[in-house]
């Protein structure tokens, strides 16, 4: 019951439930798995879309209950989860980071597809290591513009899909926004809304499964037997709907113009104004843009990127042995490149699509050569977050730039701080005892003494 309340749209209900679970665990009434050396630093919350419905508080509790050493939240176009997630992780004593993801336009790659399939020049990009969801006034307009652009994209999809699916239609305000806690809808929310609209139109799947299946068969270009089987597996059906209706080639898809998304430098202004870290993102090395990964990363580093995001599972956990072998080698190659370019790694499972794992398999043989790089990257991001949250002396601070002028020096320091700083309130209390006039070596020495 309490765990279910962690996903309530009312933040007071979530906070009360989390405090009760923590107290129950202290009394020994809830079993907690011992901490393991694993990290999932890329988890979407229900403030954009989480396939399991997890709120920021629920993700924090998931990590604590299952013994995940580090956890990071990421949401599309908003920072709504940041404060709740970081506060919840401090309460449950999990090492945390928080971030944002969006799409940007890269003019230098305007003719090359990068990591957004079928969309040359369009790039999934990230900011990680936010210490707060509060945005300085000089950057607030950038965040507001990102949200407004997302709404306009959604409304255009709804207009097109409504026309195609009529009489099964949705009203954005009435049918879509109530599926979100703070009005930030994604394509996956649209999919849920259209699925419910079809059920209601045909009297519910239990009452008239044949009619629902016949409708979707006609609209999705599948036979009724296929749709009937898909309806029994909601996750697969939702992915099929999204692919057929909203992705490239679907009736709701709009080829984005170069003005549809912010430029890299604009997104970076938001991230850096918040004291956070611009983070590049890698898909799988197959596209023309990602085959020029060193060129791309060099360009992004010049514009402020300091880390690289990877989703490991889709780059090794594949049924076809030849595809697995090829993608694993590409994974190893991009990890080597990141190391050569002084880019710590941010890795995770996303959790925004049905079927995404809760945690990567860190014991998989394919991940053995890169496992330590994954863990070091996670501790780097946590170390920056803790220093920024506790002292205002994170990676982007004047203190860090003065004492640690190179990216490699900063990477090493914040990684070591990440390993040395206990999770939760205790870790922040240790950091807050530090004198901001101390050198990085002094800080590390005092952390060792405290340990």
Q: Per-residue pLDDT tens for 285-303? A: 999 999 999 999 999 999 9
Number of structural domains the chain divides into: 2
The model's pTM: 0.94
pLDDT band at 451 (very low <50, low <70, confident <90, very high): low
Q: Can you tell me the distance from the alpha carbon of 86 to that of 99, in angstroms, rounded to the nearest whole number?
A: 11
Kindly tell me if the per-residue pLDDT of 205 is higher than 50: no
Judge if 102 and 53 occupy the same domain. Answer: yes
Judge if 230 and 320 occupy the same domain. Answer: no
Q: Per-residue pLDDT tens for 142-181? A: 999 999 999 999 999 999 999 999 999 999 999 999 999 9
Could you list the beta-strand ranges (E) of 159-223.
none
Judge if 209 and 321 occupy the same domain. Answer: no
The reply to whether 43 falls in a domain is yes
The residue whose two tokens read 């901001």 is 436
Q: Per-residue pLDDT tens for 377-426? A: 999 999 999 999 999 999 999 999 999 999 999 999 999 999 999 999 99
Please enumerate in sequence order all residues whose Cβ is within 8 A of that of 212, keeping only pairs 6 or more positions apart, or say none: 198, 199, 202, 205, 231
pLDDT band at 258 (very low <50, low <70, confident <90, very high): confident
Judge if 232 and 127 occupy the same domain. Answer: no
Judge if 198 and 339 occupy the same domain. Answer: no
163 burial class (0-12, 13-18, 19+ CB within 10 angstroms)?
exposed
Q: Find the domain containing 222 and state its range.
A: 146-245
Q: Which of 224, 245, 266 is the last residue of a domain?
A: 245
Judge if 182 and 40 occupy the same domain. Answer: no
The reply to whether 5 falls in a domain is no
Q: Which of 206, 230, 245 is the last residue of a domain?
A: 245
CATH of the domain at 92: 3.20.20.140
Q: Is 249 left (phi over 0), alpha (psi -120 to 50) or beta?
A: left
The reply to whether 8 falls in a domain is no
Judge if 129 and 278 occupy the same domain. Answer: yes
């Amino acid at each position: 019951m309490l765990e279910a309340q962690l996903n309530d749209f009312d933040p007071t209900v979530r906070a009360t439930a989390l405090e009760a679970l923590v107290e129950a665990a202290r009394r020994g009434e809830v079993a907690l798995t011992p901490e393991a050396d694993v990290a999932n630093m890329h988890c979407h919350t229900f403030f954009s879309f989480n396939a399991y419905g997890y709120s920021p508080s629920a993700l924090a509790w998931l990590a604590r209950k299952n013994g995940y050493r580090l956890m990071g939240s990421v949401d599309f176009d908003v920072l709504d989860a940041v404060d709740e997630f970081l506060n919840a992780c401090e309460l449950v004593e999990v090492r945390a980071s928080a971030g944002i993801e969006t799409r940007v336009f890269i003019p230098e790659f305007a003719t090359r597809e990068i990591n957004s399939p079928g969309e040359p020049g369009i790039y999934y990009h990230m900011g990680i290591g936010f210490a707060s969801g509060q945005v300085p006034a000089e950057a607030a307009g950038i965040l507001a513009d990102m949200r407004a652009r997302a709404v306009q994209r959604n409304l255009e999809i709804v207009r097109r899909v409504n026309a195609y699916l009529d009489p099964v239609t949705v009203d954005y305000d009435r049918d879509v926004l109530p599926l979100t806690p703070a009005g930030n809808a994604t394509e996956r929310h649209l999919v849920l809304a259209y699925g419910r609209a079809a059920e209601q139109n045909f009297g519910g799947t239990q009452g008239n499964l044949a009619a629902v299946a016949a409708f979707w068969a006609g609209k999705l270009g599948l036979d009724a037997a296929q749709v009937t089987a898909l309806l029994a597996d909601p996750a697969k059906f939702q992915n099929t709907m999204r692919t057929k209706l909203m992705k490239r080639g679907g009736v709701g898809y709009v080829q984005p113009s170069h003005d549809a998304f912010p430029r890299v430098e604009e997104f970076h202004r938001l991230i850096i104004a918040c004291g956070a870290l611009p983070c590049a993102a890698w898909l799988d090395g197959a596209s023309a843009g990602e085959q020029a990964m060193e060129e791309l990363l060099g360009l992004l580093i010049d514009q402020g990127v300091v880390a690289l995001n990877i989703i490991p599972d889709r780059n090794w956990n594949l049924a076809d042995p030849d595809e697995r072998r090829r993608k694993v080698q590409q994974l190893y190659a991009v990890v080597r490149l990141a190391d050569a370019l002084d880019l710590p790694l941010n890795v995770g499972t996303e959790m925004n699509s049905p079927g995404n794992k809760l945690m990567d398999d860190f014991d998989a043989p394919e991940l053995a050569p890169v496992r330590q790089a994954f863990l070091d990257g996670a501790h780097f991001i946590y170390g920056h977050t803790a220093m920024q949250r506790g002292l205002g002396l994170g990676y982007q601070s004047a203190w860090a730039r003065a004492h640690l002028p190179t990216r490699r020096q900063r990477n090493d320091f914040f990684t070591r701080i990440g390993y040395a700083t206990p999770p939760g309130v205790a870790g922040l209390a240790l950091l807050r005892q530090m004198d901001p006039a101390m050198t990085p070596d002094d800080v590390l020495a005092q952390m060792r003494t405290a340990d």
